[in-house]
Amino acid sequence: MNRPPTPLSFGYGTNGLADLRLDDALALLADLGYDGVGLTLDHMHLDPLAPDLAARTRRLARRLGELGLSVTVETGARYVLDPRRKHGPTLLDPDPDDRARRADLLVRAARVAADLGAHAVHCFSGVTPPGTDEDTAWKRLPGALTPVIEAATAAGVPLAIEPEPGHLLATLADFHRLRAALDSPAVLGLTLDIGHCQCLEPLPPADCVRAAAPWLRHVQIEDMRRGVHEHLPFGEGEIDFPPVLEALAAVGYGALTVVELPRHSHAGPHQAERSLSFLRRSLRHRSLPHRSLPQRPLPNRTTGRTSPPGSSS
């Protein structure tokens, strides 16, 4: 398919196409004109815990090549390790064996990413467990990530950790705290979720892009409102997107910008088509001055909310 050239490369997350077989999802994205895919390792697509992972990954690499799609490997599957606990276990769990299970998944993901020629492998810290104080959690996180850092380094794939509202590592400032605790490994970069910037960061999203630029390895994008962690289709939140896309292009970000709408799989094909059209239109619009809105309070950093929830991670 001939795609119109753009200064950015757009992808769509498979966590928003969970009702489609993986090959159908990839063919759809290629047909719509996407440049790539954010591949969430999960049971319905590429199961990281099922047998013959290496062989299944090789077949997928060939298919991505046939379709002309690049890829980023994402690890935000809700129940891939524990059928009862969303995103559990995490890198912060009190039980070291549980922390090791999460680290093992991320090590597997790094190997998959290398075999697919992925731009990066994504991860997150997890929520601080009940009964664990923040200082203890911050002591656990660098140790739990160390084998993952080693695996990503060996694989030659950037590890892109995501600040997530409600998690221990929730903000750009937290990312830099982790980097310092790990002595700033070269392989450790950042997943910047544009919606999360709107939700929680003190800077506007376009300024977050500029601040994060030296460490930017993966970008997720969707609409969102201040203080409410709810992934929304474009136009349903508060983000002014042309300045964000201009900032990404200006800082030379060259990897995928992946639409993340995990709660919209029931309308995944429609949202995928609509999202790409919106992003292309936004690229064509110059950023214009717009009316200043009243300053809103910064959300509670541990919940990401100043109003009732709608977390869609």
For residue range 113-153, what is the model confidence (pLDDT) as tens digits?
Answer: 999 999 999 999 999 999 999 999 999 999 999 999 999 99
Q: Which residue has the tokens 């739990």?
A: 144
> Per-residue pLDDT for 231 more than 50?
yes
Contact 40, 313 (CB under 8 A): no
Distance of CA 122 to the CA centre of its chain: 6
Token pair, residue 60, equals: 């997928």
Give the C-alpha separation, 16 to 2, whole Å.
Answer: 25
Whether residue 164 has pLDDT greater than 70: yes
Strands, E assignment, 108-174: 121-123, 159-161
* Residue range 260-277: mean pLDDT, rounded: 97
Query: Which helix (H) or strand (E) is 258 found in, with range?
Result: strand 256-259
Of 34-38, 91-95, 195-199, 303-307, the least confident = 303-307
E-strand ranges in the chain read 9-13, 36-40, 70-74, 121-123, 159-161, 188-193, 216-221, 223-225, 228-232, 256-259
Q: Please, what is the average pLDDT of the chain? A: 91
Closest CA to 46 of 80, 12, 16, 85: 80
Digit-coded pLDDT (tens) for 244-263: 999 999 999 999 999 999 99
Judge whether residue 289 has pLDDT over 50: no
The length of the chain, given as a count of residues: 313
302: confidence class by pLDDT, cuts 50, 70, 90: very low
Helix (H) / strand (E) containing 191: strand 188-193
Please check whether residue 229 is in contact with residue 311, taking contact to mean a CB–CB distance below 8 angstroms: yes
Q: 128 in helix, strand or coil?
A: coil
What mean pLDDT do residues 73-85 have?
Answer: 95
In whole angstroms, give the CA distance from residue 173 to residue 169. Answer: 9
CA 312 vs CA 68, 130, 219: distances in Å: 30, 21, 17
| Type of residue found at 64 | L
Under the banding of pLDDT at 50, 70 and 90, the label for residue 286 is: low
How far apart are the C-alpha atoms of 237 and 198, rounded to whole Å? Answer: 9
Structure pTM?
0.90
If pLDDT is split at 50, 70 and 90, which confidence band does 277 have?
very high
In a 3-state reduction of DSSP, which class is residue 172?
A: helix
Helix%, strand%, coil% for the chain, nearest 5: 40, 15, 40
> Side chain identity at 230, as an amino acid letter?
E
